[in-house]
Amino acid sequence: MKLVIIGGVAGGASAAARARRLSEAAEIILVERGPDVSFANCGLPYYLGGVIAERAKLLVTTPERLRTRFRIDVRTQSTAVRIEPANKTVRIRETGGREYDQPYDKLISAPGAAPIRPPLAGVDLPGIFTLRNLHDVDQIQTRLHAGVRQAVVVGAGFIGLELVENLVHRGISTTLVELADQVLPPLDPEMTTPIVETLKSHGVEILTGEAAAAFRATAEGLAVQLKSGRELTGQLVVLGVGVRPENALAVEAGLEVGARGGIKVNEFLQTSDPDIFAVGDAIETTDFVLGGPTQVPLAGPANRQGRIAADNVFGRASKYRGTQGTAVLGVFGRTAAMTGASAKTLRRLERPFHAVYIHPTDHAGYYPGAEQMTLKVLFDPETGRLLGAQGVGGAGVDKRIDVLAIALQARLTVFDLEEVELAYAPQYGSAKDPINMAGFVAAGWLRGDHPQVDVPSLLAMSDDARPLVLDVRTPEEFAAGHIPHAMNVPIDELRLRLAELPADRPIVAYCQVGQRGYLATRILRQLGKDAVNLSGGYRTYRLWQPNG
């Protein structure tokens, strides 16, 4: 068996190591365009910020180790320039210029995805970068050492925000420009409010619904001209506006690619040529939750795909179940994470769903240091099956999203979440964990015990058509901020003050996070009132209306 692997980072390196474990006899050739294999691309922003101090730490493995330990024929500085499926060869060009045809029995293609560099005027000026590999990071580092006072990051995705944090960490005044009307476009917009507030509190200027239009060199360094006409000044611009699958070789070789350019593969990660497999950021995979094709450039899936492709090369039928898009961002001590489908995606695909919000603390409130989070759980409104989840806040967000990620994998429902038995001691969780609470709220809605209205629906109602908005918090909480025109009747007085409520007007009750509002709803409905709870309470309201 002569196995050729194109690309030596996450998917390619995993495939190579797995292949060797499966076969001592195979000839395994790894072709990598750059000088490095298997570097920690997710660590690049942190190296720029000085959080990861040594460049060597970014080298997860080296060509030398792949050679000695795994007996891989590693060929760095070697670019695959053409695949010829008919001859089963790959044309390889070395940096020095030499070219040759490398035969293969099986090929695994892991070329990755290239950062998009929009064809704007001046985009190739010095000081304007994308961030993909160690070469990029070295160039940015050099620029930083030359002195950068102001930076502009274009694109507020995961890498963009990590870059912003690290640039601020270095004392650089940073402006973030994002075409969408929110940061972190994979998340639902209201869930990004705490992240926006955190960024602002660290002095980051955020320009959403805005884009770079042109760049030019100035005495100050660079001027970034925006679509709106505004101009930003900086000595460094990093473009993080997305990636494009590296599909040129595949297309030229006649392999099928999807509508968004990802190389098409079957569940065995086999391309339209049965002797060619493809893995990682370059492929189109299946959306595990919703079905249908998707392209999710993430390190975890790429690594697992590499293993699976190697298995199939050596005759072990191994299937990739699809990608559910679990991702996490840490920024200035806050965490935002998600798994599965967002409300945005579900609406776009016209899939029915319902969402609940809770605002629990990561551990028991009576133990010091509890930090608050917001969890949004999306589920099928008929069956209760989980569709997705998002979390934002402090400690414990990553844990709950991981728990929900495996719940999603197992096709669990919100009824199952009610029954989850997680580890509880007061410094780790609560006797009713946030996951249980999410299950209780969602299942309560499904059972009809807990009718809820969401904030956008409330906001969409005209003032005349609005139900009575009943704030059941304390007068102190009410005074500190409330929904306009709300009436305040604390929950503990509600039963005694029923006569004050209008007889025939529907009621939307709310409290701080939803729990007292739920009890109010229960009390009122059992008395025959048309009452619903505002989903997630005032805290959720403030996610939508951060300025009051």
Name the one residue in this structure whose structure tokens are 């009718």.
Answer: 451
User: Is residue 114 helix, strand or coil?
Assistant: strand
What is the Cα–Cα distance from 160 to 299, expressed in whole angstroms?
Answer: 16
Q: How far is the CB of 88 from a second copy (least distance, A)?
A: 25
Question: What residues contact residue 247 under an 8 Å CB cut-off, 6+ apart?
Answer: 111, 257, 261, 262, 263, 282
Amino acid in the structure at residue 492: D
Q: How far apart are CA 243 and CA 519, in angstroms?
A: 48
**CA-CA distance, 254 to 265, in Å (whole number)?**
13
At 280, list the tokens: 């990682």
390 contacts a second copy (rule: CB under 8 A):
no
Least Å distance, CB 372 to a second copy, is 17
Q: Are 340 and 389 in contact (CB under 8 A)?
A: yes
Site string for a second copy, 316-355 (x = CB under 8 A): -----x-xx-xxxxx----x-x-x----------------
Within 13 A of 512's CA, how many CA atoms are on the CB side?
12
The smaller minimum CB distance to a second copy, of residues 40 and 120, is found at 40
Smallest gap from Cβ 392 to a second copy, in A, equals 13
From 76-84, 127-135, 212-220, 292-300, span contacting a second copy (CB under 8 A): 292-300
Is residue 358 at the binding interface for a second copy, with CB under 8 A as the rule?
Answer: no
Closer Cβ to a second copy, 158 or 353, answer by number: 158
CA 305, CA 489: separation in Å to the nearest integer? 56
Q: Least CB distance from residue 68 to a second copy, whole Å?
A: 4
The count of residues interacting with a second copy (CB under 8 A) is: 88
**Footprint (CB under 8 A) of a second copy, residues 27-56:** 40, 42-43, 46, 51-52
DSSP SS3 for 61: coil
Please choose, out of 78-86, 260-268, 505-513, 516-524, the segment that lies near a second copy by the rule CB under 8 A. 516-524
Contact 282, 263 (CB under 8 A): yes
Rama region for 188: left / alpha / beta (φ>0; ψ in -120 to 50; rest): beta
Separation CA 544–CA 322 (nearest Å): 32
Coil, helix or strand for 316? coil
Do residues 151 and 173 make contact, with C-beta atoms less than 8 angstroms apart?
Answer: yes
Q: How far is the CB of 271 from a second copy (least distance, A)?
A: 21
Q: Please identify, among the stretches 63-71, 133-141, 228-236, 348-356, the one whose residues bind a second copy according to the rule CB under 8 A.
A: 63-71
List helix spans (H) across 359-483.
Answer: 397-409, 414-418, 434-446, 455-460, 475-479
- Calpha distance 41→366 (Å, rounded): 40
The binder of a second copy chosen from 3, 4, 6, 10 (CB under 8 A) = 10
**40 or 290, CB closer to a second copy?**
40
CB of residue 525 vs a second copy: minimum separation in angstroms? 9
| Neighbouring-strand partners of residue 151 | 174, 236
**Strand, helix or coil for residue 205:** strand
Q: Does 497 bind a second copy (CB under 8 A)?
A: no
Instruction: Please name the residue ranges forming H helices in 41-173.
Output: 44-48, 63-70, 134-145, 158-169
Q: Which of 171, 315, 368, 484 binds a second copy (CB under 8 A)?
A: 368
- Residues 393-412 within binding reach of a second copy (CB under 8 A): 398-399, 401-403, 405-407, 409-410, 412
- Do 391 and 374 touch, CB atoms closer than 8 A? yes
- Which of 1, 27, 71, 233 contacts a second copy by CB under 8 A? 71
For position 116 contacting a second copy by CB under 8 A, the verdict is: no
Report, in Å, the least distance between residue 395 CB and a second copy: 10
Among all chains, which residue has been given the structure tokens 């109602």? 461
Positive or negative: CA dihedral 430, 431, 432, 436: positive
Tell me how far the alpha carbon of residue 282 is from its chain's centroid. Answer: 18
Q: Return the residues of window 203-242 that contact a second copy according to CB under 8 A.
A: none
* Catalytic residue (one of 1, 40, 42, 298): 42
Q: Is 1 in the site for a second copy (CB under 8 A)?
A: no
Nearer to a second copy, 264 or 399 (CB): 399
User: Biggest alpha carbon distance in the chain?
Assistant: 90
Q: Which of 208, 523, 544, 545 binds a second copy (CB under 8 A)?
A: 523
Is residue 251 involved in binding a second copy (CB under 8 A)? no
Nearer to a second copy, 64 or 124 (CB): 64
Q: How far is the CB of 238 from a second copy (least distance, A)?
A: 18
- Site residues for a second copy, 131-190, by CB under 8 A, read 158, 162
Q: Is 42 a catalytic residue?
A: yes
498 lies in the binding site for a second copy (CB under 8 A): no
Distance from C-alpha of 231 to C-alpha of 222, rounded to nearest angstrom: 10
By CB under 8 A, name the one of 201, 203, 292, 366 that touches a second copy. 366
Residue among 319 and 348 whose Cβ is closer to a second copy: 319
Q: What binding mask, one character per residue, do residues 414-453 give for a second copy by CB under 8 A, x or -?
A: --x-xxxxxxxxxxxx-xxx-xx---x--------x----
Q: Which two tokens stand for residue 180?
A: 């969408």
Minimum distance from residue 521 beta carbon to a second copy (Å): 9
Active site residues: 42
